[in-house]
Amino acid sequence: MKIQFNTDNNIKVSNELRVSLTSLISNELSRFNDHITRLEVHLSDEDGHKDGQNDKRCMIEARLEGMQPIAVTNHADSHELAVTGAVDKLKSSIDTIEGRLRNY
């Protein structure tokens, strides 16, 4: 599973944060390694340099083997929390898709 990070102009992702987020995402989605070919993680700060609540946005687009890509979005006060929430939503979406496939 390849993980690609994209950010807007308001964010500079340090190497430490990138490694931390990659580790978090890989660990949380490890049971789906056979199905996910690539993840695109889009991080943005919707308020720019101003402080605000839930202004950090994470959108994860998952490319699933033999299927259409799926995308989830989460807003939070920090990028780490936004990524964690988006990963939880992605796990739920993939579980739903796998459940539907098993029923057919």
Neighbouring residues of 5: CB distance < 8 A, sequence distance ≥ 6: 13, 18, 21, 41, 43
Taking only the tens place, the pLDDT of each residue in 18-68 is 999 999 999 999 999 888 999 999 999 877 666 767 788 999 999 998 889
Taking only the tens place, the pLDDT of each residue in 66-99 is 889 999 999 999 889 999 999 999 999 999 988 7
| Inter-axis angle of helices 79-103 and 15-28, nearest 10 | 30
Three-class SS of residue 31?
helix
Q: Which domains does the chain have, with CATH numbers?
A: 2-103 (3.30.160.100)
Verdict on whether the full-model pTM lies above 0.85: yes
d(CA 74, CA 61): 12
